[in-house]
């Protein structure tokens, strides 16, 4: 074994008992299981004392009883990416990966994320918010007049392309709205940006935050749905995305600005549309706990930068932290 490997193993041992949180209770449970199992194996391969924990099947009392020294959050969607589990871990005093309570809650809400970005002058598509229970036919009919056609309808608290519909004509509004309303109390109607779909992983915090290589997603007929995202081999991924250097740096800088505006730290992934008519980038959303499956985009981007899946997992784990420091006289039970 080389001296570097000995040093790395010694450093990994100092990370203590690590919990990998995956599964959970959200609509994205299936993907979280895939992500979490990948992360768990990668950490074990690096000699880290990693253990699985599924909050969808085990209680928070059991989580506390495990006495993890830190945890890697591989949960997606509600109860795992929205600030709730982050708040639990703050209470338990267990450092965790990814953004803190507030940034997780904001990034899980696509509407609030857009409002924060707009307050910073960052570009995001125009939008209208509709009440899922009270929106009337006339109100739905007015949305295409305001945003144009086609447009996109989204359940603002879901991910993995769950609860999303593309509206081509006025007659599609009701069906698309009803689909999204199954998942949320409000529906986000968003201007459709015709162009190229891009995503940028960001690691770090504050001034040290850095963007990884840009990934361009080319799905069949532009339909990057649940099947094409996780299970199909038909979707093409180009990394680094074929963009000129000036545009690449601009989009990466915008990703870091968007990340910091929401208050993220650790890691996240920022999604864009690049408008075809003028190469103007528009921010779509930010993912506070991105996928780590075999089809996932953060590992793909990291590989392009020369970082293996295993090393990426370790780097993210090392960034685990608490936002609220326990008082000096506090001791865990």
Q: Read off the pLDDT of residues 140-174 as tens digits, 9 standing for 90 and up.
A: 999 999 999 999 999 998 865 788 999 999 999 99
Give residue-wise pLDDT tens across range 21-40: 999 999 889 999 999 999 99
Question: Is position 294 within any domain?
Answer: yes
Is 328 a residue of the active site? Answer: no
Q: Indicate if 238 and 202 belong to the same structural domain.
A: yes
Q: Indicate if 241 and 159 belong to the same structural domain.
A: no
Give residue-wise pLDDT tens across range 234-289: 789 999 999 999 999 999 999 999 999 999 999 999 999 999 999 999 999 999 99
pLDDT at 228: 43
Question: Is position 332 within any domain?
Answer: no
Query: Which residue out of 26, 70, 196, 230 is catalytically annotated?
Result: 230
Q: Indicate if 92 and 139 belong to the same structural domain.
A: no
Residue 127's closest CA among 103, 143, 104? 143
Is 28 a residue of the active site? Answer: yes
CATH number of the domain at 15, please.
3.40.50.20
Residue 71's closest CA among 47, 51, 91? 51
Question: Is position 322 within any domain?
Answer: no
Query: Which residue out of 35, 271, 296, 319 is catalytically annotated?
Result: 271
Q: Indicate if 117 and 265 belong to the same structural domain.
A: yes
Question: Is position 185 within any domain?
Answer: yes
Residue 62's closest CA among 19, 95, 32, 99? 19
Is 309 a residue of the active site? Answer: no
Query: Which residue out of 36, 269, 301, 319 is catalytically annotated?
Result: 269
Query: Which residue out of 287, 296, 301, 319 is catalytically annotated?
Result: 287
CA–CA separation, 238 and 218 (whole Å): 8
CA–CA separation, 286 and 272 (whole Å): 9
Q: Indicate if 147 and 259 belong to the same structural domain.
A: no
CATH number of the domain at 278, please.
3.30.470.20
pLDDT at 258: 98
Query: Which residue out of 12, 19, 28, 83 is catalytically annotated?
Result: 28
CA–CA separation, 324 and 93 (whole Å): 8
Q: Indicate if 168 and 213 belong to the same structural domain.
A: no
DSSP H or E segment with residue 189: strand 186-191
How confident is the model over 196-212, as a mean pLDDT?
Answer: 97
Q: pTM for the complete prediction?
A: 0.91
pLDDT > 70 in the chain, percent: 90
CA dihedral 53, 57, 59, 60 (to 10 degrees): 40
Question: Is position 22 within any domain?
Answer: yes
Q: Indicate if 89 and 153 belong to the same structural domain.
A: no
Is 24 a residue of the active site? Answer: no
CA–CA separation, 51 and 94 (whole Å): 15
Question: Is position 153 within any domain?
Answer: yes
CA–CA separation, 203 and 141 (whole Å): 42
Q: Indicate if 56 and 86 belong to the same structural domain.
A: yes
Q: Burial, 30: exposed, middle or buried (Cβ in 10 Å; 0-12, 13-18, 19+)?
A: middle
Give residue-wise pLDDT tens across range 282-317: 999 999 999 999 889 999 999 999 999 999 999 999
Do 111 and 285 contact (CB within 8 A), yes or no?
no
Other Cβ atoms less than 10 A from the Cβ of 175: the count is 11
Question: Is position 326 within any domain?
Answer: no
Q: Indicate if 159 and 136 belong to the same structural domain.
A: yes
Is 81 a residue of the active site? Answer: no
- How many structural domains does the chain have? 3
Is 230 a residue of the active site? Answer: yes
pLDDT at 1: 52
For residue 165, list its beta bridge partners.
153
Do 136 and 204 contact (CB within 8 A), yes or no?
no
CATH number of the domain at 155, please.
3.30.1490.20
Domain boundary among 162, 191, 220: 191
Q: Is the pLDDT of residue 198 over 90?
A: yes
Q: Indicate if 200 and 277 belong to the same structural domain.
A: yes
Q: Indicate if 114 and 170 belong to the same structural domain.
A: no
Domain span at residue 173 reads 127-191
Query: Which residue out of 38, 100, 263, 291 is catalytically annotated?
Result: 291
Query: Which residue out of 158, 190, 285, 310 is catalytically annotated?
Result: 285
Q: Indicate if 115 and 253 belong to the same structural domain.
A: yes
Question: Is position 296 within any domain?
Answer: yes
DSSP H or E segment with residue 7: helix 3-13
pLDDT at 227: 47
Query: Which residue out of 35, 160, 260, 289 is catalytically annotated?
Result: 160
């Amino acid at each position: 074994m080389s001296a570097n490997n000995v040093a790395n193993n010694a450093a990994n041992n100092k990370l203590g008992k690590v919990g990998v949180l995956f599964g959970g209770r959200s609509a994205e449970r299936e993907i979280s299981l895939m992500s979490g199992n990948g992360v768990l194996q990668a950490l074990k391969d690096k000699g880290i004392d990693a253990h699985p924990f599924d909050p969808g099947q085990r209680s928070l009392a059991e989580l506390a009883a495990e006495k993890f020294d830190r945890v890697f959050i591989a949960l997606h969607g509600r109860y795992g990416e929205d600030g709730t589990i982050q708040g639990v871990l703050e209470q338990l005093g267990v450092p965790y990966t990814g953004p803190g309570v507030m940034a997780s809650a904001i990034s899980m809400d696509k509407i609030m994320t857009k409002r924060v970005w707009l307050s910073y002058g960052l570009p995001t598509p125009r939008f209208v918010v509709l009440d899922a229970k009270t929106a009337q036919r006339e109100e739905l009919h007015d949305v295409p007049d305001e945003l144009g056609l086609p447009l996109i309808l989204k359940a603002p608290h879901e991910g993995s392309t769950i609860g999303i519909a593309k509206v081509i004509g006025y007659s599609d509004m009701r069906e698309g709205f009803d689909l999204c309303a199954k998942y949320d109390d409000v529906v986000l109607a968003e201007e459709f940006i015709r162009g190229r779909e891009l995503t940028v992983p960001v690691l770090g915090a504050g001034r040290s935050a850095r963007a990884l290589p840009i990934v361009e997603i080319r799905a069949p007929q532009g339909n990057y749905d649940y099947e094409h995202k996780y299970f199909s081999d038909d979707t093409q991924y180009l990394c680094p995305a074929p963009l000129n250097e000036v545009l690449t740096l601009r989009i990466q800088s915008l990703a870091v600005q968007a990340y910091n505006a929401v208050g993220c730290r650790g890691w996240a992934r920022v999604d864009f549309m690049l408008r075809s008519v003028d190469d103007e980038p528009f921010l779509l959303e930010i993912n506070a706990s991105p996928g780590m499956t075999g089809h996932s985009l953060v590992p793909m981007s990291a590989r392009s930068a020369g970082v293996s899946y295993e090393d990426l997992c370790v780097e993210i784990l090392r960034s685990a932290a608490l936002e609220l420091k326990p008082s000096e006289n506090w001791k865990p039970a």
